[in-house]
Structure 1
Amino acid sequence: MDNEKVKELELTLSMERFIQAELLLLLKQKPSHGYELIQRLDDSEFKSAEVDAATVYRNLRRMDKEGMIKSQWEVGESGPGRRLYKLTTQGEEYLIVWTQYIVRQKIKLENFLEAYLRFNQ
């Protein structure tokens, strides 16, 4: 299967919600503005897909509404105000749940690869 087919398959795997785990981890590391989060996601070793600013902001709004993060406006001396996002206690709990889910998925993927390699030898 060529790389394009692999990318198409990855996109169909409902990974949009995985961006929440990525954002929670980045915010656990340090509070950040939206643009900074986009840059940090883009530079990360674990990004699930190309970083789309609209998807990031949509998820930040959803996560703020659901109490995983909180945001506040910061007004600088020059330029427009920016939202600063911080992880909440509830967000830390969600990050733990995401981590447990990822560990389970990793085990399933490793089991799949082992079965495939045994069959394919």
Structure 2
Amino acid sequence: MDREKVNEPELSLSMERVIQAELLLLLKQKPSHGYELIQRLNDSEFKSAEVDAATVYRNLRRMDKEGLINSQWEVGETGPGRRLYKLTSQGEESLIVWTKYIVRQKTKLENFLETYQQFNNSHPGQ
């Protein structure tokens, strides 16, 4: 089999799901407006992929309905009003759950890589 032609497998966690954890983390760092969250996601070192604004706003609405975050309209002296999103205590609990899940996934991936490397080293060329 030609290794160059093998496609990388898709990760089991979709961008739609992982973005929730990413948004919770960013909102734990500081309350933000939607546009600012999009910019911070794109600048982050943990982003899953290029962020789609519609996906971010859809997740923010869902998270607001679920009580993970709350939002309020801020009206500035210039420009249109913007929603300011803040993490709730329920959102902090959800972030802890996400963090534990990610740690478990990281451990599984490290175990996989270690097993692969041990096999590969003891069976070169297979």
Per-residue CA deviations over 1:11-38 (Å, capped at 9, x if unaligned) read: x642321100000000000000000000
Match of 2:7 among 5, 8, 27: 5
Q: How does 1:1-121 map to 2 (within 5 A)?
A: 5-6=7-8, 9-10=10-11, 13-121=13-121
Identity within the alignment, %: 81
TM-score by length of 1: 0.91
Question: How many residues are treated as equivalent by the alignment?
Answer: 119
Question: In the TM superposition, what is the alpha-carbon distance from 1:92 to its structure 2 partner?
Answer: 0.2
The one-letter code of the counterpart of 1:42 is N
Runs of 5+ consecutive residues of structure 1 not aligned to the other structure: none
Extract unaligned runs of 5+ from structure 2.
122-126
Structure 1 or 2, whichever has the larger Rg, is 2
Q: Which runs of 4+ in 1 moved over 6 A?
A: none
